A = this chain, B = another copy of it.
């Protein structure tokens, strides 16, 4: 047998998390699709949560590698990178990192969404501990195209634009189905990503609102 039990579990988990979601896919589902013993997940990973973390590593590790490579390339260039170039570099990194699994993108962004949920403190801690430094290095690059934002503005802007990606791509299949039902056309992932670029770039470039001036009076 050419595939180890651990690999079989990971592949089955990826497939089932994509199909049913991170909460809905049970240890029984995963082990039985993997063709391994029910206890194998706890044996090899320690717990179901640790399996989710292992799946996270499957994407985050190559993602960080790619991001670093591409952003270093951009930085090495003499002319300053444009917002579009950065966005594109980020997207290509992501595509590369998830390319081994058919629904990789949705799964990966679904995982990020999942990590944003209230009850997933442990997963967030794990990701920050494991990828926090790499993330910061990447944010420094990104910061350069938004020099006029305050630090706080900048970090919130990142959350916002991450959301722009996450919701429609984590639920890409669902959105495409709705589109199909209403307009008989069906987008694909590549089309969606190209539609995203200008929106993200515009979001990066947008000036901060004059909060202090207008905010208080209205809301």
- Kindly state whether residue A168 has any CB partner on chain B within 8 Å: yes
- Copies of this chain, complex-wide, total 4
Interface string of A82-120 (1 = CB under 8 A from B): 000000100110010000000000000000010011110
Inter-chain contact A195/B208, CB cutoff 8 Å:
yes
Q: Which of B179, B207, B214 contacts A194 (CB 8 A)?
A: B214
Interface string of A172-208 (1 = CB under 8 A from B): 0111001100010101001111111111011101111
- Kindly state whether residue A166 has any CB partner on chain B within 8 Å: yes
Inter-chain contact A197/B209, CB cutoff 8 Å:
yes
Inter-chain contact B117/A195, CB cutoff 8 Å:
no
> A30 vs B191: C-alpha distance in the bound complex, in angstroms?
43
Q: Which residues between 144 and 183 of chain A lie within 8 Å of chain B, taking CB atoms?
A: 151-153, 155-157, 159-168, 170-171, 173-175, 178-179, 183
Inter-chain contact B153/A163, CB cutoff 8 Å:
no
Q: How many residues of A contact B (CB 8 A)?
A: 66
> A116 vs B175: C-alpha distance in the bound complex, in angstroms?
8
> A183 vs B202: C-alpha distance in the bound complex, in angstroms?
26
Q: Which of B88, B174, B185 contacts A116 (CB 8 A)?
A: B174
Inter-chain contact A179/B164, CB cutoff 8 Å:
no
- Kindly state whether residue A124 has any CB partner on chain B within 8 Å: yes
> A56 vs B40: C-alpha distance in the bound complex, in angstroms?
34
- Kindly state whether residue A76 has any CB partner on chain B within 8 Å: no
Give the distance to chain B from A37, nearest Cβ to Cβ, in Å.
14
Q: Which of B23, B163, B206 contacts A198 (CB 8 A)?
A: B206
Give the distance to chain B from A214, nearest Cβ to Cβ, in Å.
7
Give the distance to chain B from A143, nearest Cβ to Cβ, in Å.
14
Inter-chain contact A194/B209, CB cutoff 8 Å:
yes
> A196 vs B155: C-alpha distance in the bound complex, in angstroms?
12
Interface string of A128-143 (1 = CB under 8 A from B): 1000000000000000
> A198 vs B215: C-alpha distance in the bound complex, in angstroms?
12
Which A residues are closer than 8 A to B by beta carbons? 18-21, 23-24, 88, 91-92, 95, 113, 116-119, 124, 128, 151-153, 155-157, 159-168, 170-171, 173-175, 178-179, 183, 185, 187, 190-199, 201-203, 205-209, 211, 214-215, 218-219
